[in-house]
């Protein structure tokens, strides 16, 4: 078998021509157009993973390149490719190539990428979630995508420092991989909120608020977005409280994580939907204050806290950049700001990892 691979690589190399990668190209689409497999293109180009970047020169099977090549075109401008990981490791099943991040941090959202003729037939689980404080641990997931290019979204729960273990199954064939996880290394923040603010934590309506949000986390609807995620506030870049900060709200209180990112802004600043979806909650609540929750499908939900005014209603379809409310300081808040959360199957992920990308 090894001799056959070496012979095939030699034949391909002898009749290969240079190709400049364009936006939207994947190794799978180029392999399919060339009539070869992804593995054969990996060997032909000496690649360890199927990642491609715009402007990259690779060799494709075809006519031998002319001895006097045309002048090289100007280098392509740098383009961010939101759907291609910058570092990854690769596993394989028959007809399927699985690409995973090399490492993760607590609170990261991420995707496993599956390419190949049978990628859409696979199922994926994350068995490392068993025993963790997560919703629906080890849930069986079907890949999202088409035409041999699929993703499965994952998340690293805050507080987790053990590797993420994933399992991809195709019929009777199973492959397992693991991704190391690093701590955020943030010190505990003690807010010591005054009783006039912290009293909402004991509000008798808080249980109903939490139960309604949990229902939103349990939704499993089709993916609603086709464009990268966008910022929730126009021209507001400053962050007052970062994602994942361990904190106490009252003196001697229990340590909890900050599950979103806080953007300070004047009261009345328009709040914008980060992407297309359906509003599943919209109203005033004791802890989250003026709240909008948008289901984007694929288990992805965004939440917008502390609004002074909510301008959408539950059941309404919204588009990326549409106004959903205005910044305020309602609920558990000590000053005007937007608290934004983006959750994957109920677990918080760092919002910055989504901005300008289709997937983190």
- Report which of 221, 100, 108, 218 is spatially closest to residue 168, judged by C-alpha positions: 100
Give pLDDT tens digits for 292-349. Answer: 999 999 999 999 999 999 999 999 999 999 999 999 999 999 899 999 999 999 999 9
pLDDT at 78 over 60: no
State the span(s) of the chain assigned CATH 2.70.70.10. 189-353
In SS3 terms, 15-80 reads as CEEEEECCCCCCHHHHHHHHCCCHHHHHHHHCCCCCCCCCCCEEEEECCCCCCCCCCCCCCCCCCC
State the span(s) of the chain assigned CATH 2.60.40.10. 88-182
Query: Which class is domain 189-353?
Result: mainly beta
Contacts of 164 (CB under 8 A, 6+ apart): 104, 126, 128, 154, 156, 178, 179, 181
pLDDT at 13 over 60: no
How many residues does this entry show for the chain? 360
Give pLDDT tens digits for 93-144. Answer: 999 999 999 999 999 999 999 999 999 999 999 999 998 889 999 999 999 9
Average per-residue pLDDT for the chain = 85
Would you state the pLDDT for residue 36?
63
CATH (one of 3.40.50.2300, 3.40.50.1820, 2.60.40.10, 3.40.50.360) for 88-182: 2.60.40.10
pLDDT at 170 over 90: yes
Question: With 0-12 CB in 10 A as exposed, 13-18 as middle and 19+ as buried, what is 6?
Answer: exposed
pLDDT at 67 over 50: no
pLDDT at 79 over 70: no
**Which of 9-13, 121-125, 191-195, 305-309 bottoms out in mean pLDDT, i.e. has the lowest?**
9-13
Count of Cβ atoms closer than 10 Å to residue 102 Cβ: 12
Residue 90 pLDDT level (bands cut at 50, 70, 90): very high
pTM equals: 0.77
State the span(s) of the chain assigned CATH 3.10.350.10. 2-61
Give pLDDT tens digits for 222-242. Answer: 999 999 999 999 988 789 888
Would you state the pLDDT for residue 152?
97
Query: Which class is domain 2-61?
Result: alpha beta
> Residue 284's beta-bridge partner residues?
290
pLDDT at 1 over 50: no
Residue 158 pLDDT level (bands cut at 50, 70, 90): very high
Rounded to the nearest 10 degrees, how much is the dihedral formed by the CA atoms of 331, 333, 334, 339?
Answer: -150
């Amino acid at each position: 078998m090894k001799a056959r691979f070496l012979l095939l690589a030699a034949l391909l190399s002898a009749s290969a021509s240079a190709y400049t990668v364009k936006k939207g190209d994947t190794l799978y689409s180029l392999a399919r157009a060339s009539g070869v497999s992804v593995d054969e293109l990996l060997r032909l180009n000496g690649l360890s993973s199927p990642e491609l970047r715009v402007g990259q020169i690779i060799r494709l099977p075809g006519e031998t390149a002319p001895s006097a090549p045309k002048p090289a075109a100007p280098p392509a401008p740098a383009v961010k490719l939101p759907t291609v990981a910058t570092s990854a490791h690769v596993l394989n099943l028959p007809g399927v190539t699985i690409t995973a991040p090399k490492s993760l941090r607590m609170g990261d959202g991420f995707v496993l990428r599956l390419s190949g003729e049978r990628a859409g037939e696979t199922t994926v689980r994350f068995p490392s979630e068993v025993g963790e404080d997560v919703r629906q641990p080890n849930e069986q997931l079907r890949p999202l995508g088409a035409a041999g290019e699929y993703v499965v979204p994952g998340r690293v729960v805050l507080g987790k420092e053990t590797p993420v273990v994933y399992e991809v199954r195709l019929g009777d064939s199973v492959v397992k991989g693991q991704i190391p996880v690093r701590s955020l290394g943030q010190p505990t923040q003690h807010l010591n909120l005054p009783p006039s603010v912290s009293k909402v934590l004991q509000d008798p309506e808080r249980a109903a608020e939490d139960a309604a949000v949990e229902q939103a986390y349990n939704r499993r609807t089709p993916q609603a977005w086709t464009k990268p995620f966008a910022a929730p506030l126009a021209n507001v870049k400053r962050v007052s409280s970062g994602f994942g900060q361990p904190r106490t709200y009252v003196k001697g209180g229990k340590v909890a994580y900050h599950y979103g990112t806080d953007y300070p802004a004047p009261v009345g600043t328009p709040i914008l939907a980060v992407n297309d979806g359906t509003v599943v909650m919209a109203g005033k609540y004791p802890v989250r204050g003026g709240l909008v929750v948008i289901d984007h499908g694929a288990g992805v939900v965004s939440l917008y806290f502390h609004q002074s005014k909510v301008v959408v209603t539950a059941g309404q379809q919204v588009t990326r950049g549409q106004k959903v409310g205005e910044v305020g300081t309602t609920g558990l808040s000590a000053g005007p700001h937007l608290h934004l959360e983006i959750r994957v199957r109920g677990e918080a992920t760092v919002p910055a990892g989504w901005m300008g990308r289709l997937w983190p």
